[in-house]
Structure 1
Amino acid sequence: MTLAFGAIGFVIVLWWSATGAIFYLDRLPRRALAWSITAATVVLIASLVGLGASAQVATPVGAFAAFACAIGIWGWNELLFLTGAITGPNREPAARGLSGWPRFRAAAASVIHHEVVIAASGVAVAALSAAGPNRVGLWTFLVLWAMRLSAKLNIFVGVPNPGERFLPDHLAYLAGHFRTAPVGAFFAVSITLATGALALIAAFGAGQEPSAFEVAGVTLVATLLALAVVEHVFLALPWDSAALWGGKRLSRPSGDVNSRCDESDPKRLLHPAEA
């Protein structure tokens, strides 16, 4: 029980501090961009090496190490995206009235390069994890990948709180692909599937005595998935989750796109170019 509680605390602290660190680095002056990416790349290399080593260690320490390394690899991907270093070929606000397949294609073109890099990172994580019995790093990365993709699709389809305030000013054009709307069937399905997956993970080992490694690994992955579900819930709430990091946002208040849009129609696309 102590091991499980320790794993839960570890995930919460690492999730909160890693997200805060990415926010901090991306709020630095643009001239510090190269230093931020360099520092993140050093973390990436260390994480890849650490993941390969920890994959051979099926112990609680190995589970914690693999989890932390997967977070480090994911953090590199997130920082490159938020700094604008890797996004997509389309860096223009969405055209007014765009809908259906053209809207999806425009939105996908805004992030496709980043998605390709994430996929390549996933292949690397899978290859390193396959070398040993410790697959905690792989499952951690897959949870992050699946839930981030789910969040992106929900923001595209439409949620009450798409979180455009988390976009730095140089990525404000991405808010044009967000849709502010009441939660619908897609959100319900997303939450249901994620919650069902969480229940399956939590039920692992029921009726038997799991090893300490299994307890640590399952608790780490389950806690991360639970936090991702909570982040999804934030999308449906009128509460600014930036308060979790002292109220800091990546964008400046003056760059708040949503405040300059007609709020009478919740399904209207946001147009940062008009701000």
Structure 2
Amino acid sequence: MSTFAFPLLYTVFAWWFGTGIILLLNQRPRSTHQTTFWMSGVVLLFALVGLKTSANLNTVAGAYCGFTCALLVWAWQEIGFLLGYVTGSRRTACPPECRGFRKAFYAFQTIAHHELALLVLGAAVALVTWGGSNLIGLWTFIILWAMRQSAKLNVFLGVLNLNEKFLPVHLKYIHSYFTKRAMNPLLPVSILMACLFAIPLWQTAFATGVTPYQIASSTILATLLSLAILEHILMVLPLSTEGLWKWGLRS
């Protein structure tokens, strides 16, 4: 049972602890943000080296290494976005009368640089893992990217929980592009599509005759995708997730 429990618990812990650390770094004085951003860039370089090194390690350790390094790559853009260094060309609130396509265009302008950074990072992850037999790092990044795009679209179209308190003061203008409503037609489709990918991963993790590496990698990816599905479900439930990261939102 520990064969499944350890990668599952590790993924949940990495998701929870990593998110809290990023929020905590963002809560520090503004004077520390530039140093934090540059230090995260150094970590990014080491993470890419780790992905390259683990790309041909079909072992349990290789699975953990690839997953962890992909999370560190992802963390760079999260830090850059929340600190306000990698956002977009538009840094003002949405005009009150703005609707439809115009609002969507303005919303994209607020995160255009962020979206470009994601594409560049994704290409970098694909490049360093290209031809490797251990692609958990690449699949981790793909899951994070796909589910984040889904979350952005759903928040724009309208959900109950916008989690606006996770946005720092200097990014509060982005909240004006969110829409608060009980549900939007895309959300159930997003959850269903994610489930269609999560189920085969769980089936592989619990299949007979698979290697320890396959169990670890499938469990990690399935858990990560399931957490993203849970986050989507919580968007329309009258529940707050802020308590999970109270230590990262201390100010």
Scaled to the shorter chain, the TM-score interval is over 0.9
* Residue 16 (structure 1) aligns with: 16
CA offsets 1:98-129 (integer angstroms, 9 cap, x no match): 11110100000000110000110001111111
* Residue 34 (structure 2) aligns with: 34
* Residue 44 (structure 2) aligns with: 44
* Residue 55 (structure 2) aligns with: 55
Q: C-alpha displacement at 1:202, in angstroms?
A: 1.4
* Residue 118 (structure 1) aligns with: 118
Overall identity of the aligned pairs, in %: 35
Q: C-alpha displacement at 1:35, in angstroms?
A: 1.5
Cα distance in 2 for partners of 1:49, 1:207 equals 32
Alignment partner of 2:204: what SS? coil
* Residue 143 (structure 1) aligns with: 143
Residue correspondence of structure 1 range 75-154 to structure 2 within 5 A: 75-154=75-154
Amino acid at match of 1:58: N
Corresponding pairs, count: 251
* Residue 6 (structure 1) aligns with: 6
Q: C-alpha displacement at 1:182, in angstroms?
A: 1.1
* Contact 1:52–1:131 under 8 Å retained in 2: no
Amino acid at match of 1:51: L
CA offsets 1:7-43 (integer angstroms, 9 cap, x no match): 0011011111111110010001110011111221121
TM-score by length of 2: 0.96
* Residue 169 (structure 2) aligns with: 169
Alignment partner of 1:123: what SS? helix
* Residue 222 (structure 1) aligns with: 222
Amino acid at match of 2:126: A
Structure with greater contact order relative to length (CA < 8 Å, sep ≥ 6): 2
Alignment partner of 1:56: what SS? coil
* Residue 68 (structure 2) aligns with: 68
Moved more, 5-14 or 203-212: 203-212
* Contact 1:158–1:183 under 8 Å retained in 2: yes
TM-score by length of 1: 0.88
Distance 1:37 1:150, change over 3 A: same
* Contact 1:242–1:248 under 8 Å retained in 2: no
Amino acid at match of 2:80: L
Moved more, 189-198 or 83-92: 189-198
Provide structure 1 residue ranges, at least 5 long, that are not aligned to the other structure.
Answer: 253-275
* Residue 198 (structure 1) aligns with: 198
* Contact 1:22–1:79 under 8 Å retained in 2: yes
Amino acid at match of 2:118: I
Cα distance in 1 for partners of 2:140, 2:66 equals 9
* Contact 2:88–2:109 under 8 Å retained in 1: yes
Alignment partner of 1:204: what SS? helix
Cα distance in 1 for partners of 2:39, 2:3 equals 32
Provide structure 2 residue ranges, at least 5 long, that are not aligned to the other structure.
Answer: none
* Contact 1:63–1:213 under 8 Å retained in 2: yes
Alignment partner of 1:210: what SS? coil
Distance 1:58 1:207, change over 3 A: closer
* Residue 157 (structure 1) aligns with: 157
Amino acid at match of 1:36: T
* Contact 2:204–2:215 under 8 Å retained in 1: no
Distance 1:185 1:21, change over 3 A: same
